[in-house]
Amino acid sequence: MLTKGQETRNRIIQTSRQLFTRQGFQNTSISEIIAATGVKKGNLYYHFPSKEELGIAVLTDARDEFYTILDNSFAGKKPEAKIIHSCDSIMALMQQTNFVGGCLFGNTALEMTDSSSRFGIIVREVFSRWTDMIAKELHQVATTSTGPINPNILATAIVAILEGGIMLSRVYNDKTHLNNCISIIKMLVENKN
Amino acid sequence: MLTKGQETRNRIIQTSRQLFTRQGFQNTSISEIIAATGVKKGNLYYHFPSKEELGIAVLTDARDEFYTILDNSFAGKKPEAKIIHSCDSIMALMQQTNFVGGCLFGNTALEMTDSSSRFGIIVREVFSRWTDMIAKELHQVATTSTGPINPNILATAIVAILEGGIMLSRVYNDKTHLNNCISIIKMLVENKN
């Protein structure tokens, strides 16, 4: 069971994550977080000595959650099926919020990595793990077919297509763009075009 | 020849564009723009009555410049060559700034389109025109080969791959990611995998 302090900490993280995802880290003030969580300023600073510490805690929490989603999403017997299933999971995840806010890691990449190395480290860790998981499956495909595509190169492109597709679907408020992107990934993975 | 007023207006736009691209629109204050351009506050507001108006002017200016780059970049005789040449132009453009700042339209998409419809309109216009230009060439490919890929779907995916690739290269400060993405686009366009 969580202590009252842990519950407060979690509530601050979850509420801040929503605000950071929708409006960005820089553009979210401590006052807004206090108003949205209902915690007192002193209590907030007790848990997070600075806004950067809170940002790192939010990103770390989101990273761990995404790793669990990724682990569960590579479901299926064939490596191709695992990759496609994981793409479908990303689509389902994005539809939960109707693409509002998009991908926190992609957003943080664009907003913070030029200016903060600590944010950059976590974001690179997420993209590297994600790419490696896809590449690992693609290596299995490569050993069973004559596909000439380098697994590591294709894995990078798959993460890029998904991130770009999420951005386009968010901009147009239309899931078609990410759907189109996933259909191209399916073709690349199944090596059928 | 430009009048003094036009010169000032241009200088404000170019300087603000650098600041918006590197650190975001919301995170750039009017005071920073005044300090960076050296214009007086009253003069800035004479040209741009609000920060939003300045943002729209910057985005419109960047859009027009990007359209010119795009028009010139679809060079070559064969449609496949035109698309690949335009991807290489994007790479060259990004390398000019070592990926710092990345793509202003992608950044604006992530930062502003949930909150400002005026920014969203321009960003969608850019992505739609870019996608249409690629799709137009892919339709030419489709008529000369038996490629089974729907040109409109592939065009959307190509823009997504490039935007995702720019983001990854920016995060890792390494052109390899965008290079890998472009090599997958070449394969898709040449229909050879």
- From the list B110, B149, B177, the residue facing A106 with the nearest CB is B110
Concatenated DSSP letters of A141-180: HHHHS---S-HHHHHHHHHHHHHHHHHHHHHHT-THHHHH
Q: Which of A20, A21, A124, A156 to mutate to test binding with chain B, by most B CBs within 10 Å of its CB?
A: A156
SS3 state at B46: helix
Do A160 and A100 touch, CB atoms closer than 8 A? no
Smallest CA–CA separation between B182 and chain A, in Å? 8
CATH topology of domain B57-190: Tetracycline Repressor; domain 2 (1.10.357)
Q: Given an 8 Å threshold on Cβ–Cβ distance, is B177 in contact with A184?
A: no
Could you give the angle at the alpha carbon of B34 between the alpha carbons of B65 and B100, nearest 5°? 45
Q: Given an 8 Å threshold on Cβ–Cβ distance, is A27 in contact with B23?
A: no
Residues of A in contact with B187 (CB under 8 A): 149
Angstrom distance (rounded) from CA A67 to CA B67: 39
Asked whether the whole model's pTM tops 0.90, one would answer yes
* Nearest to A123, CA basis, from A56, A43, A24: A56
Do A57 and A18 touch, CB atoms closer than 8 A? no
* Nearest to A185, CA basis, from A110, A134, A136, A148: A134
**Model confidence over B108-132: pLDDT tens digits?**
887 776 666 889 999 999 999 999 9
Do B193 and A191 touch, CB atoms closer than 8 A? yes
What single-letter DSSP state applies at residue A75? -
Element (H, E) at A127: helix A117-144
The pLDDT tens digits along chain B (193 residues) read 788 889 999 999 999 999 998 888 888 999 999 999 999 999 999 999 999 999 999 999 999 999 999 999 998 889 999 999 999 999 999 998 888 888 889 888 877 766 668 899 999 999 999 999 999 999 988 665 545 689 999 999 999 999 999 999 999 999 999 999 999 999 999 875 4
* Homologous superfamily of A4-190: Tetracycline Repressor, domain 2 (1.10.357.10)
ipTM over 0.85: yes
Mean pLDDT per block of 10 residues along chain A (193 residues) reads 89 94 87 95 95 95 95 91 95 89 85 77 95 94 68 96 95 94 93 54
**Model confidence over A20-60: pLDDT tens digits?**
988 888 889 999 999 999 999 999 999 999 999 999 999 99
Domain spans of chain A, in order of start: 4-190
Q: What distance lies between CA B35 and its chain's CA centroid?
A: 26
Angstrom distance (rounded) from CA A130 to CA A151: 13
